[in-house]
Structure 1
Amino acid sequence: MYLLLAGSAVLSSYLGALALYRLFFHPLRQYPGPVLAALSEGYELYYNIIVGGGLVNEIEKLHKIYGPVIRVGPNTLHFNYPQAYHDIYTYGSTLVKDPGFYHSTAAHVRQSAFAFCDPQHAKIRRGLMSPLFSRRAVLELEYTIQQKIDKLLAVFGEHYNSSNSSVEMSSAYRSLTTDIITSYCFAECPNTLDIPDFSHPIIQYVEETFQDYWLQRHFPILTDIINNGPQKLVLWLLPKFKGYAGLKSGLERQIDKILENPDILSSVEHETVYRHLLEPKGQERPSRTALLHEAIVFTAAGSDTVGNASYVGTFYALKSDTIRRRLFEELSKAWPERDTPLSYAALEKLPYLTAFIKETLRFSVGVIHPLPRIVGTTTPEIGGLKLPSGTIVEMSALFMHMNPEVFPDPYVFNPDRWLAGETNEMMHDFVPFGKGSRVCVGLNLAWSELYLIFGNLFRKVDMKLIIDENTIDDFSPEQRMDYFVVQWRKGYRVSVAKTAV
């Protein structure tokens, strides 16, 4: 009994001393922010899990109250101006990823480049994979993208051609982008477009994974249980992870076949990411687990970012008769023979389509959650501030894209902003794929997908937005949730028909 009381007293004293230190003696004590954020990492947990994806919306409110630099954790500062963003990400070569964040959020893919906190380790791994995502490689493999888009259009024509039918576009786009990224990276795909109503378990897995992302962030042991526990028991207890288990098993079988017989790589339809990873020059070959983790990252990230952008852009084009008409007219002029393919290289020369895609990427954001970096001993100023080594600094890309000083009326979807004179400042602060050494390795592929998806759909399909009580009004802050990537509270459906000409 006495030991229990003594232990409680020691713990209470420790917690009290820690609270006093964080509030009155910590190096970041002079930066404003909520008291609870200064006291505990539980502040982030509350908005991530209890509020449900509410952290970025709360940070927006905090900046309005406290100014451009706020303390959002005991040792964490969040910024809200472009210079700070570029100091952290674009030029921040002396900063490393925060292990506390990345080792938990990436608990299921710890041996992927995404999870590497050491910049040099990430550089080596990315160097192995980057040749597959060069512009030259993307142009050579463009047909893999076009084939899947043609398949989506065929599904529309076969199953959604009646006046009473409609398409839920989020699942349709994610099915398309899943088949594209897996076919492009692995020369085989799960054919999610073949499943009625775009309901393949992998699509559900990706959506549910991001919806449960913060459980993994704050309780990474759950991922260890799912990965290492008896699969039948895990799926009985946690049936929503059936899609993840199926994806993991399929990729494991694929990788094991290659490891058993590497000659398979020379007989596939085109080069794959496995070939680049398994044939490193003068470097150690990644392990089986590392191959699996990279494959999972490509499947999830490659399907979600482009799928979400396609989803957001289509909504705004259908909501505005002017945007839809201008897209169709520009495409019809450049593409008079609808059934003859038009290349990515030709589509990217179309000014209004290009402006529309840029505005779509500005609005859809991509990764919305702040990506924390740790200040090093040689780090120069961050946003004009000299900070102690070990300070965690971050800034959500949302604050770049919604900065009214760079993008006037930022919450208005306006492709014409990209056609009105000088756009260098906007492009400098345009960060849908990040910036600097950790920029998204697949950005060339993503650009080509968006040109080909939007080009084909707005040239070949007459889509109309179906308005009812379940239809989103705008992709506004009220509808936006932060689950690392953006989630939306409502969706939309469209009717589809082949264009008349």
Structure 2
Amino acid sequence: MATTSLPYAVAFGTCILLYFVVYPVIVYFRDVNGLRRYPNMHPLSGISWLPFIILSHSGERSLRLSKLHQKYPVIRTGPNALSYGDLRAIKDIYGHNTPCTKDGQYVVGAGSHYHLADVVDKHDHARKRKTLSSAYALKNLEGWEHKVADKTYKLIQHLDKCCTAPLRSGEVVKPEDVNVDFRKWSNFFTLDAIADIGLSEKLGFLDRGHDRMTGRRTDGTTYECDFRPALYQTARKQSLLIWNYEWYPFIDKVSNLIPFYGRMGKLSKDWEGIPMELAHRRLQRYRTGEKLDDFFQALMEDKNGYPNNLEWGEIVAEISIMMNAGSATTAIAITNIIYQLIKNPEILKKVTEEIDAAVEDNEDEDESGVLAYDKIKHLPYLRACLDESLRLFPPTPHGLPRETPPDGANILGDYIPGGVTVSMSALVAHRQESAFPQADKFIPERFLGEEGKRLQPYFLSFSAGARGCIGRNISYLEQAVVVASLLRRYSFALTSPDWQLERLETLNWILGDMPVKVWRRKRKSASSE
């Protein structure tokens, strides 16, 4: 029996060798797309995606690429993929008139329906953007400021309870005074805020201090899960394995047999039911006739009240990306800016003085401690600090992949044949010394005045062009209100001056805990203190 099966085993092994080794080598040397002229990220990058998958497991993919791009403006990262480090490529790849479209990563990573962020077809994207643009219009967002203010107040209520005695000069932080994980609570803030803005949903994470919630299966049954692990481990697994698009659906399923990936796969299932449950709840309210001032209302009807007639799967998909991108990136941004300011006390002093000067004693500030957006939205140094933090560690460092059109495209003056994946990491762009001298340092002054305006074409924290982030206005609103309100009211300290925030790159960053000591500021101008 064993002898009989041997030829079949040999034949199978030969097929595997031919498909996974011999064929890629032949394709590499045939070089139909002419990509061999570019330096490889790894000696095998032109033959296999395996080196990039291995790099992704390091958790610092874009940082490694940034170092390589200091020497090479274009790097081949996979058999059919190029990464760019020359800032001039931004316009060619992401600009408004680019012929490039979102590549296969968005197709294999999508669910049953595309949402605004992963839809590939340009006409379908234009339809979606038109439908959703009114919901994200600045006038609407400022009308929803009270929802952001409410969540800021809830965050302040918690921090007030955690306040300790002021830290004296030269004093070492006591371990028992480090009682706030700022990373966790900033994330509770963004989740509660976007759920209220988008769905008029009171998640209550800030009230309860945890993110346990209900998910819904397709059969209507429900289950309990934790929001943040479900969301972040879903993104982590995808970022580790998605790079070979052709094989990703198969690899994604088979990998669940390995405990490391299996745990993430289980959490992915948990995540799928969260936007479904939230959409279900809000739809029930909509059907009973509630007219609520939120994103969902704009999703269901146009500004004249006519139904948009979206399919249920599309509604769930849009809720999914809203709860994902609308919470994760802003939470990362808020954590990063507070971290950078604690690390740079002179800059912290300067921005705090600007905020104090803009908010006169008892003006636009009540007992809640929440500052009015209108009072702080035009503060130049505050905005410069926000932008510099977004530059130094963009919440989405991943190079958003685009595909050249069938007839090819010119990038940096070179013709790139059709069907090639091209990308530029925001982190790579932001570490280019030609535009950002001392790029590894936190220097908000670079974003002030005319110099700051000159840098905007190279600022990719919200991507660029027609596919730029539609939610950037709401992110700035949340960042400005919560950061200014906290700096006005509190002082913070890390466990030690040399403490470092842990970062793990997926498509966004997964940040580690950020334990801090917090205490009330003594303000000379504040009659209440």
TM category, shorter: 0.7 to 0.9
Q: Is the 8 A contact 1:166 1:493 kept in 2?
A: yes
SS at match of 1:497: strand
1:173 aligns with 2:196: no
The corresponding residue for 1:292 is 316
1-side partners of 2:428 and 2:360: how far apart?
40
Q: 1:323 to 1:264 in 2, by over 3 A?
A: farther
Q: Which residue is equivalent to 2:37?
A: 30
Write out aligned runs for 1:19-418 (5 A): 19-26=25-32, 27-33=34-40, 34-49=42-57, 52-65=58-71, 67-99=72-104, 101-104=105-108, 106-108=109-111, 110-161=113-164, 164-196=177-209, 201-215=226-240, 217=242, 219-220=248-249, 248-249=272-273, 251-259=275-283, 262-264=286-288, 266-268=290-292, 270=293, 272-279=294-301, 285-337=309-361, 339-340=365-366, 341-418=370-447
Q: Aligned ranges for residues 437-448 of structure 1 at < 5 Å?
A: 437-448=466-477
For residue 453 of structure 1, the aligned residue among 482, 492, 497 is 482
1:234 corresponds to: none
Q: 1:176 to 1:284 in 2, by over 3 A?
A: closer
Q: Number of matched residues?
A: 479
> For the residues of structure 1 that align with 2:450 and 2:36, how far apart are their CA atoms?
44
Q: Structure 1's 295 and 276: CA in aligned 2 closer, same or farther, altered over 3 A? A: same
Partner secondary structure for residue 36 of structure 2: coil
| Alpha carbons 1:375, 1:389 under 8 Å: kept | yes
Tell me the CA shift for residue 215 of structure 1: 4.7
Q: For the residues of structure 1 that align with 2:307 and 2:81, how far apart are their CA atoms? A: 36
The one-letter amino acid of 2:331's match is G
Q: CA deviation at 1:500?
A: 2.3
Rounded Cα–Cα distance in structure 2 between residues aligned with 1:158 and 1:361: 30
Deviation at 1:441, TM superposition (A): 1.1
Shift in CA distance, 127/452, structure 1 to aligned 2, threshold 3 Å: same
How many angstroms apart in 1 are the aligned matches of 2:444 and 2:285? 50
- Write out per-residue CA displacement over residues 150-205 of structure 1, whole angstroms, 9 at most, x where no aligned residue: 11000111245577342111111111111111111001131111223778821333
Correspondence for 1:493:
515
Post-superposition Cα deviations, 1:319-353, rounded to whole Å, max 9, x if no partner, equal: 22211211221111111235335422321221211
Equivalent residue letter for 2:114: Q
- Name which of structure 1's ranges 206-215 and 181-190 shifts more when overlaid on structure 2: 206-215
- How far did 1:496 drift? 1.4
Distance 1:24 1:150 in 2: 62
Instruction: Describe the superposition over 1:14-63 as per-residue Cα deviations: whole angstroms up to 9, x where unpaired.
Output: 542430331353321222213311001222222123xx324323323433
Query: Which amino acid is the alignment partner of residue 25 of structure 1?
Result: D
Which residue of structure 2 aligns with residue 484 of structure 1? 507
Residue 39 of structure 1: SS of its match in structure 2?
A: coil
What letter corresponds to residue 209 of structure 1 in structure 2? T
Moved more, 136-145 or 416-425: 416-425
- TM-score, scaled to structure 1: 0.86
Q: 2:219 matched to which residue of 1?
A: none
Which amino acid is the alignment partner of residue 301 of structure 2?
E
Q: 1:13 to 1:221 in 2, by over 3 A?
A: closer
What residue in structure 2 maps to residue 233 of structure 1? none
Deviation at 1:437, TM superposition (A): 0.9
Structure-2 residue corresponding to 1:424 = 453
Give, in whole Å, the separation in 2 of the partners of 1:108 and 1:461.
43
Tell me if structure 2 keeps the 8 A contact 1:23–1:39: no
Q: Summarize the Cα distance change of 1:283–1:80 in structure 2 as closer, same or farther, 3 Å threshold.
A: farther
| RMSD, matched Cα | 3.1
- C-alpha contact 1:466 1:492 (8 A) present in aligned 2: no
Which structure 1 segments of 5+ residues have no match? 230-236
Q: CA deviation at 1:485?
A: 0.8
Confirm or deny: 8 A CA contact 1:47 1:55 kept in the other structure: yes
Structure 1 residues 92-139: Cα deviation after superposition (integer angstroms, max 9, x where no partner): 53211112x1233x3457532222111221221122122111110111
Q: Is the 2:394–2:461 Cα contact (8 Å) retained in structure 1?
A: yes
Q: Are the aligned partners of 1:116 and 1:122 in contact in 2 as well (CA < 8 Å)?
A: yes
More helix by share: 1
Shift of 1:213: 3.2
Residues in 1 aligned to 2:283 and 2:374: alpha-carbon distance in whole angstroms = 36
**Residues of 2 paired with 1:7 and 1:209: CA distance?**
34
What is the TM-score of this pair, normalised by structure 2?
Answer: 0.82
Q: Distance in 2 between matches of 1:88 and 1:431?
A: 12
- Counterpart contact for 1:160–1:167, Cα < 8 Å: no
State which drifts further: 330-339 or 393-402: 330-339
Distance, in Å, in 1 between the alignment partners of 2:468 and 2:11 is 51
Contact 1:39 1:73 in 2 (8 A): yes
CA distance in 1, matches of 2:456, 2:234: 32
Structure 1 pair 109–297 and aligned structure 2 pair: CA distance change class (3 A): farther
Q: What do residues 65-86 of structure 1 show as CA deviations (whole Å, max 9, x unaligned)?
A: 5x11111111111111111122
Contact kept? 1:375, 1:391, Cα under 8 Å:
yes
Alpha-carbon deviations, 1:280-311, whole Å to 9, x = none? 58996222222122212111211111111111
How far off its partner does 1:380 sit? Answer: 4.0
User: How far off is 1:355 after superposition?
Assistant: 1.3
- The answer (yes or no) to whether the contact 1:308–1:364 under 8 Å persists in 2 is no
| Distance (whole Å) between structure 1 residues aligned to residue 17 and residue 264 of structure 2 | 40
Distance 1:216 1:174, change over 3 A: farther
Distance (Å, rounded) in 2 between the aligned partners of 1:390 and 1:25: 14
Separation of aligned partners in 1, 2:460 and 2:201: 31
CA gap 1:78/1:435 in 2 versus in 1, 3 angstroms: same
Identify if the C-alpha distance between structure 1 residues 45 and 404 changes in structure 2 by more than 3 Å, giving closer, same or farther: same
| Code of the aligned partner of 1:102 | Y
Residues 171 and 203 of structure 1 are in contact (CA less than 8 Å); yes or no, is this contact kept in structure 2? no
